[in-house]
């Protein structure tokens, strides 16, 4: 008898019995096993040849004919009773009393994260492998794991191979998909209908002949694994795109509805370093809450995009061309709370009007970070005057700032100050001109003692330009502010 058959049989027989009753059945089965063991031992002893006189005819007949048959029957009965006892013990095991939901939670704790530092960079499917291993412990656990989609929602990491390479993982095989592609198909099926994180790494170093063909309008074949992922695009919860991906992929993505997408990290470039249809793509993400966008500058598209759920926007601008910053021309984020903008090239020109219009469309903005911002002090003042909810401001390496901006932050009786709710200020790598006249010291002190007109500082951080130090006079003035209770930190 197989264990599976014995389990089915005893499960039916013991249905409705208390654990105490099943324990009595186990004791009875163990007694029968002991009795059978005794009978088998006696049979073997009786069948042994007699050393002195040798066996008589009746004994020899028993040894040669009946004894093997009787021994085989007893062995089968003993093994059946052993299986029965083992199955009965399994049926009253403490783990079987746990609710399925609790077991699924325990299983989830055995699954490693893909970002575990102890894992090699090639362990892209460790989450799937761990869940698959749990599902192969027994049939009951397999049923639980396959009916618990939350166990299969780890990040799906896909690296798109060089289109000229013959990698069995992504190219067409006899079954249509390579081994990794089939694994991803199963992964997506087991996680249905929950959202899944998707990480796509494209090609960083395409051969020049392929690049030339792409610039001339030639299209790459879309890998089948990307087609598998696009098929479940409405279930993408997190999306990270790195490196170059075929333009055809972006075109297909524009036609998808990303209903579940809440976080996106997008390097929106094609093979020639140009942005690829950002407006249409972003407009399909009504639940998007966090967006990290790496884009070049270009003329704004003719459409507008509203992201009603966006809370955090991180924007990195890459371009050596003097053009306008298009996202602020077409993007509206009425629920935006945190905005970080980094400019890779300082030669970028940026219109204050575009940024001001963006702030007007983001009335709930409280946290603003600008790195290497090309705006002048006057432009920044004009823009921030339309950010009444601003509480946190960081300006890093903004060389166009001068004392005009500090004076606008200064509290004067009878004059509404700029950003009255501001209480966290970080001025990093500030120009020397901002410290020579100590205007910054007066500004900090004025808002500290302004009463209800402005928020009191909760944290102020200052740092000098690279490879420079603040003067001793400036440091003495900052120490005096600290004595007044103003939380000022100087970083070197």
How do residues 253-308 score in pLDDT, each as one tens digit?
A: 778 888 999 999 887 555 444 444 455 677 788 999 999 987 654 445 566 788 89
* 16: in domain: yes
Q: Could you give the maximum distance between any two Cα atoms of the chain, in Å? A: 129
| Residue 35 clears pLDDT 50, i.e. is over it | yes
For the whole model, what pTM was predicted? Answer: 0.75
pLDDT at 146 exceeding the cut of 60: yes
Q: Is residue 405 part of a domain?
A: yes
In 198-272, which residue ranges form alpha helices assigned H by DSSP? 208-215, 224-231, 247-254
Mean pLDDT score of the chain, rounded to an integer? 79
Residue 125 lies in a domain: no
Angle between helices 67-91 and 3-13 (to 10 degrees): 60
pLDDT for residue 70 is more than 70: no
Residue range 193-197: mean pLDDT, rounded:
93
Q: Which residues sit opposite 158 in a β-bridge?
A: 200
| 310 confidence band (pLDDT: 50, 70, 90) | very high
Note whether residue 312 is domain-resident: no
Alpha carbon separation from 364 to 310, 337, 367, 394 (Å, rounded): 11, 6, 9, 17
Supply the pLDDT for residue 169: 39
- The pLDDT assigned to 193 comes to 93
* pLDDT(419) > 50: yes
Rounded Cα distance, 144 and 103, in Å: 8
Structure tokens at 27: 């004791």
Instruction: Quote the strand ranges of 168-220, DSSP E.
Output: 196-201
- Given a cut of 50, whether residue 38 has pLDDT beyond it is yes
pLDDT exceeding 90 applies to what percent of the chain?
A: 28
Residue 282 falls inside a structural domain? no
User: Is the confidence at residue 50, as pLDDT, over 80?
Assistant: no
Residues 6+ apart with CB under 8 A from 458: 423, 424, 487
8-state DSSP, 346: T
Looking at residue 216, its pLDDT comes to 52
Contact 302, 327 (CB under 8 A): no
Choosing from 97, 112, 140, the residue where a domain stops is 97
- Among 80, 97, 114, the domain-final residue is 97
Residue 410 falls inside a structural domain: yes
Q: Which of 41, 73, 97 is the last residue of a domain?
A: 97
With a cut of 80, say whether residue 385 has pLDDT above it.
yes
Helix (H) or strand (E) holding 339: strand 338-343
Query: Taking the CA atoms of the chain, what radius of gyration do you get in angstroms?
Result: 36
- The yes-or-no verdict on residue 109 having pLDDT over 80 is yes
For 193, the 3-state DSSP assignment is coil
Model pLDDT, residue 119: 44
Tell me, yes or no, whether 170 lies in a domain: no
Beta bridge partners of 367: 338, 392
Tell me which residue range forms the domain holding 465: 401-492
Classify residue 140: in a domain, yes or no.
no
The number of folded domains in the chain is 2
Decide if pLDDT at 345 tops 80: no
Which tens digits make up the pLDDT trace of 433-481? Answer: 777 778 999 999 999 988 888 999 999 999 988 778 888 988 999 999 9
Q: From the CB of residue 121, how many other CB atoms can be counted at a distance below 10 Å? A: 6
349 band by pLDDT with thresholds 50, 70 and 90: low
Per-residue pLDDT at 161: 57
Lowest mean pLDDT among 318-322, 380-384, 480-484: 318-322
């Amino acid at each position: 008898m197989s264990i599976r058959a014995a389990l089915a049989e005893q499960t039916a027989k013991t249905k409705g019995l208390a654990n105490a009753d099943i324990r009595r059945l186990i004791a009875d089965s163990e007694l029968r096993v002991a009795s059978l063991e005794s009978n088998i031992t006696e049979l073997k002893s009786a069948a042994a040849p007699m050393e002195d006189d040798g066996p008589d005819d009746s004994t020899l007949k028993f040894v040669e004919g009946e004894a093997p048959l009787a021994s085989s029957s007893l062995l089968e009965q003993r093994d059946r009773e052993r299986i029965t006892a083992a199955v009965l013990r399994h049926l009253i095991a403490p783990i079987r009393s746990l609710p399925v939901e609790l077991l699924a939670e325990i299983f989830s704790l055995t699954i490693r994260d893909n970002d575990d530092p102890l894992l090699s960079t090639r362990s892209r499917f460790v989450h799937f492998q761990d869940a698959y291993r749990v599902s192969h412990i027994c049939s009951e656990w397999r049923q639980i794991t396959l009916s618990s989609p939350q166990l299969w929602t780890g990040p799906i990491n896909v690296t798109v191979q060089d289109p000229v390479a013959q990698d069995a993982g992504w190219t067409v095989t006899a079954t249509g998909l390579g081994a990794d592609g089939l694994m991803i198909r199963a992964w997506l099926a087991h996680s249905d209908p929950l959202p899944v994180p998707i990480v796509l790494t494209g090609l960083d170093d395409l051969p020049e002949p392929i690049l030339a063909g792409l610039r001339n309008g030639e299209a790459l074949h879309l890998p089948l694994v990307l087609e598998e992922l696009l098929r479940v695009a409405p279930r993408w919860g997190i999306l990270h795109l790195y490196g170059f991906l075929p333009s055809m992929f972006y075109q297909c993505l524009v036609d998808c509805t990303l209903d579940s997408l809440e976080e996106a990290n997008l390097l929106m470039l094609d093979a020639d370093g140009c942005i690829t249809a950002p407006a249409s793509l972003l407009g399909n993400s009504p639940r998007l809450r966090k967006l990290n966008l790496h884009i070049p500058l270009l003329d704004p598209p003719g459409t507008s995009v509203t992201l009603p759920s966006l809370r955090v926007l991180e924007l990195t601008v890459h371009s050596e061309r003097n053009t306008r910053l298009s996202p602020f021309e077409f993007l509206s984020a009425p629920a935006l709370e945190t905005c970080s903008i980094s400019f890779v090239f300082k030669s970028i020109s940026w219109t204050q009007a575009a940024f001001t219009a963006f702030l007007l469309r983001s009335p709930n903005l409280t946290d603003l970070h600008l790195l290497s911002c090309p705006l002048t002090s006057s432009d920044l003042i004009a823009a921030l005057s339309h950010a009444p909810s601003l509480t946190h401001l960081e300006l890093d390496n903004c060389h166009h700032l001068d004392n005009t901006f500090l004076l606008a932050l200064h509290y004067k009786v009878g004059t509404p100050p700029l950003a009255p709710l501001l209480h966290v200020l970080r001025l990093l790598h500030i120009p020397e001109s901002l410290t020579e006249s100590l205007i910054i010291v007066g500004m900090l002190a004025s808002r500290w003692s302004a009463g209800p007109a402005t928020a009191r500082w909760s944290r102020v951080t200052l740092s000098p330009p690279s490879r420079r130090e603040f003067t001793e006079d400036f440091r003495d003035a900052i120490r005096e502010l600290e004595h007044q209770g103003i939380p000022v930190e100087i970083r070197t």
